[in-house]
Amino acid sequence: MHPKSRLSRRAFTVTAFSALMAAGGAVAAGAPAAGGPEPRRGRAAREMRGVWIASVANRDWPSRSGLSAAQQRAELIAHLDKAVADRLNTVILQVRPTADALWPSPYEPWAQYLTGTQGKSPGWDPLGTAVREAHARGLELHAWFNPYRVSNQPDPAKLVASHPARRHPEWVVAYGGKLYYNPGLPEVRAFVQDAILDAVEKYPVDAVHFDDYFYPYPVAGQTFDDDAAYDEHGGGFSSRADWRRDNIDLLVRETADRIKETRPGTRFGISPFGVWRNAATDPLGSATRAGVQSYDDNFADTRKWVREGWIDYLVPQLYWNIGFAAADYAKLVPWWAEVARGSRTKLYLGEALYKAGDPAQPAAWQDPAELSRHLTLAKEHPEVRGHVYFAAREVTADRIGAMARVVADHYQQPAKPSR
């Protein structure tokens, strides 16, 4: 579901994808200009206006580990107040960044990003406070969970002694300098769901949210070692890739069912990588040339989840500018709109606010109007019910005024969340 240091959640290690992200791309000729406060057809009063708040590696919040409880709370409240000021209506808060918790969980330790020490209580309940304070401001609070990432470093001994990954080393795969739970083990899948559902049972969260991390992104020259799990559980599948996709399908379907059983009003949303498959790989794919395809690399069959009605909303990460040759925003929006058409799954679009004004990005991202043009273009597709911005740090800093331009052009009036 975003940043691209990927200690924060979005940095990729695939060489081809790095090249894709670094390549230039001009705004397409004839692309829609930034619009005024034109209402979305018939839906001006109800659309998703969201922001991700990433806690992993202290990406957005808390700004650093070891702050006092009062300081952490004050920073969180400031993010909520900024969302209200920008007439947003939803915050997606990362509450399980690395097989840990931002609430008192009986399953997993307190996240190290709070105190600097994994397992140490911060002296308050961040998730409980976030839900209460968001609702008091008229915001929805979506609790964001990373299912399988255990640690952003490779040494299990550096985890707190009580960590489930140390009690069950057979659950863990070291890969790319990090640790992951093995998605191919049924006991892992059950445990991950138990840990997530604990929060859903305790707090009236408006949604459970997953980002794009299922199987980890490929690392050149390395193999994700799930041989033993495949030998034990992969019978009946024509390939390991099909088996891996089935593992993720099971996670999604079972999690959806358990959310409905536990708290029926809580929705389930997923924010996958913005390219399902390239058309050159699959005629059902998009007119893109991305070095990463989520179906093949994360083993996430997002189209299936929508067709089967397993998820309530979808937020593909369309983190490219209009006219970007390898993955053009203007081509991906209609592709995803077609995926959602006629389904029960609401479609929102993930927006790369973090790129606006970044000198390492193509020229289009130096234009404060680029993001506003995204929203204008999306209005041509009635399946698009709103946008989510990555991420809170950039909403606050707004380096070149791109977010202010979005607010001025499109958010002059408040809107209720899309449901």
Burial of 235 (0-12, 13-18, 19+ CB in 10 A): exposed
| Residue 418 confidence (pLDDT) | 84
User: Tokens 């209005």 correspond to what residue?
Assistant: 379
Interatomic CA distance for residues 237 and 242, integer angstroms: 6
Q: Helices (DSSP H) in 2-68: which residue ranges?
A: 15-22
Would residue 416 count as lying in a domain? no
Interatomic CA distance for residues 315 and 274, integer angstroms: 9
Residues in the chain: 419
Handedness of CA 98, 104, 105, 110 (dihedral sign): positive
Which DSSP symbol is given to 148? S
Would residue 44 count as lying in a domain? yes
Handedness of CA 96, 100, 101, 105 (dihedral sign): positive
Interatomic CA distance for residues 392 and 52, integer angstroms: 6
| Residue 369 confidence (pLDDT) | 98
| Residue 80 confidence (pLDDT) | 98
Would residue 47 count as lying in a domain? yes
Q: How many CB atoms lie within 10 A of CB 139?
A: 24
Structure-token pair, residue 255: 């999690």
Structure-token pair, residue 235: 């019978």
Q: Which domain holds residue 144?
A: 15-410
Sequence-separated contacts (24+) of 38-42 with Cβ below 8 Å:
38/376, 38/379, 38/410, 40/379, 41/379, 41/382
Structure-token pair, residue 216: 């980890």
Handedness of CA 303, 306, 310, 314 (dihedral sign): positive
Would residue 6 count as lying in a domain? no
Q: How many CB atoms lie within 10 A of CB 128?
A: 16
Structure-token pair, residue 6: 């990927």
Per-residue pLDDT of the chain (419 residues; tens, 9 = 90+): 444 333 333 333 333 444 444 333 333 333 334 444 444 444 447 999 999 999 999 999 999 999 999 999 999 999 999 999 999 999 999 999 999 999 999 999 999 999 999 999 999 999 999 999 999 999 999 999 999 999 999 999 999 999 999 999 999 999 999 999 999 999 999 999 999 999 999 999 999 999 999 999 999 999 999 999 999 999 999 999 999 999 999 999 999 999 999 999 999 999 999 999 999 999 999 999 999 999 999 999 999 999 999 999 999 999 999 999 999 999 999 999 999 999 999 999 999 999 999 999 999 999 999 999 999 999 999 999 999 999 999 999 999 999 999 999 999 999 999 88
| Residue 34 confidence (pLDDT) | 41
Nearest to residue 176, comparing CAs of 16, 12, 310? 12
| Residue 10 confidence (pLDDT) | 39
Interatomic CA distance for residues 275 and 286, integer angstroms: 7
Would residue 275 count as lying in a domain? yes
Interatomic CA distance for residues 296 and 277, integer angstroms: 8
Which DSSP symbol is given to 31? P
Structure-token pair, residue 41: 């057809």
Would residue 34 count as lying in a domain? yes
Could you tell me how far CA 128 lies from the centroid of its own chain? 21
Residue 311, amino acid: I
Nearest to residue 207, comparing CAs of 251, 245, 264? 264
Domain count, the chain: 1
User: Tokens 């997606």 correspond to what residue?
Assistant: 92
Which DSSP symbol is given to 401? S
Cis peptide before 143 (omega within 30 of 0): no
Which DSSP symbol is given to 418? P
Would residue 10 count as lying in a domain? no
116: left (phi over 0), alpha (psi -120 to 50) or beta: left
Interatomic CA distance for residues 240 and 292, integer angstroms: 18
CATH of residue 333: 3.20.20.80
| Stretch (H or E) spanning 172 | strand 172-175
Would residue 415 count as lying in a domain? no
The residues near 216 (Cβ < 8 Å, ≥ 6 apart) are 148, 149, 175, 176, 178, 180, 224, 298
SS3 call for 33: coil
